[in-house]
Amino acid sequence: MTGKQKATTLLAALLVLGSVAAALGEEFELTYKFEEGQVFDVKSVTYTGRDMGGMAMNQTQELFFSQKVRSVTEGTADIEIKIKRVKMASSNPMTGDVSFDSDSDEESDDPQMALVKGMVGKTFSFKINGRGEILSVSGYDEIFKEIMKTVEEQTKDNPQAAMIMMLMEKTFSNATMKKTLSMGYVIFPEKAVGPDAEWKREVCVPLPMFGDVKGNPVHKIKSVEDETVSVEIDGKLKAPKGDPEIDPDDPMSAMRGMMKIKGGTVSGSAEFDKERGQIKKSVLDTKTTVEAMGNEFALEWRLSLEMLDHGAEEPAEDDAGEEEDGF
């Protein structure tokens, strides 16, 4: 091989290596994309579990709903959510195993069942920007107010209904739903990122009986395959500072005053379609320790979100009856 041929071969090899290195280190933007009129079918699953000295209690809520993009202004989407089906299941030593399904014809004086049925068909809205930040929630608290009269009438003979409804009222607030939605959408950096990027963002876990607990977990890109970006989430939850404010007119507030969250961990994952600009699925799992009257118990809260249909032009047929794996 002549000197000129060697030089040409070396130059070609360097160009190939340069192209590979560029591809491996290529930066890209992670941005949510919405178009007016898009409709998404979504399933979310929320799990709460408590282990109080060997006495386990847990509750799972499944929501099937559609999301319709009403408008998009400077990258911020105004989205209407319509609830299509609700399923709840709980287990504790006092009531045993209990489950509710809004599709069921079963009659019940349990306020949770009445509330589950009353939620179907109701709508509320939220706004989300291109980074994935939930900016506001509207109308979620009105769902609770609207069905309260019916629930109270159906549960008037249930002595436990008042306390259960008080807890539900705290859950059915715009502020709580804003925090919950924020847990399902990964917030991305403002600038382009590489395939091994890491960043932090604050999470706020809404625990109606115990208050909020916050953390600042690390988000790391695990892999990029075709258009799917996989993200891993891992970090610590901080114990709230100071004593909780006590509202004398709120029995749940007084209960929170007897409890202290001692911090914990947060972990999870997400799959994002960077071409479509949409979360495909995500899960966020939090584990905390709570101290109450000298005793400690474990508390787990987990939220999963899954897009069942990506941006159909018209609402899909109601397929909520088909069981799907959450997240």
* C-alpha closest to that of 242 among 261, 216, 264: 261
Q: Are 301 and 205 in contact (CB under 8 A)?
A: yes
| Count of CA atoms in the C-beta half-sphere (13 A) of 50 | 17
Ranges of each domain in the chain: 27-312
The three-state secondary structure class of 121 is coil
Query: Dmax over Cα atoms in the chain, in whole Å?
Result: 98
What pLDDT was estimated at residue 227? 92
Amino acid at the residue 238: K
What pLDDT was estimated at residue 23? 45
Per CATH, domain 27-312 is 2.30.230: yes
Amino acid at the residue 190: E
What pLDDT was estimated at residue 176? 86
Taking the C-alpha atoms of residue 27 and residue 194, their distance in angstroms, rounded to an integer, is 4
Task: pLDDT tens for the chain, 327 residues: list them.
Answer: 565 555 455 444 444 444 443 345 688 999 999 999 999 999 999 998 887 767 788 889 999 999 999 999 999 999 999 999 999 888 877 777 888 888 887 766 666 666 777 888 999 999 999 999 999 999 998 887 777 766 666 555 655 555 555 556 656 789 889 999 999 999 999 999 999 999 999 988 877 666 788 999 999 999 999 899 999 999 999 877 766 565 555 555 555 556 778 889 999 999 999 999 999 999 999 998 888 777 888 889 999 999 987 554 444 444 444 444 332
* C-alpha closest to that of 142 among 95, 81, 201: 81
* C-alpha closest to that of 274 among 193, 198, 219, 200: 193
Amino acid at the residue 203: V
Q: How big is the chain by its Cα radius of gyration, in Å? A: 24
Cβ-count burial of 285 within 10 angstroms (0-12 exposed, 13-18 middle, 19+ buried)?
middle
Taking the C-alpha atoms of residue 40 and residue 311, their distance in angstroms, rounded to an integer, is 5
Query: What residues have CB less than 8 Å from 153, skipping those under 6 apart?
Result: none
Give, in degrees to the nearest 5, the angle at Cα 192 between 67 and 135: 35
Q: Are 214 and 227 in contact (CB under 8 A)?
A: no
Amino acid at the residue 227: E
How many Cβ atoms from other residues are within 10 Å of residue 227's Cβ?
A: 12
What pLDDT was estimated at residue 137? 97
pTM of the model: 0.77
Query: Which contiguous run of DSSP H or E holds residue 8?
Result: helix 3-24
Strand runs labelled E in the chain: 39-52, 55-73, 76-92, 96-101, 123-128, 134-138, 198-200, 203-207, 211-215, 218-225, 228-238, 259-273, 278-292, 295-312
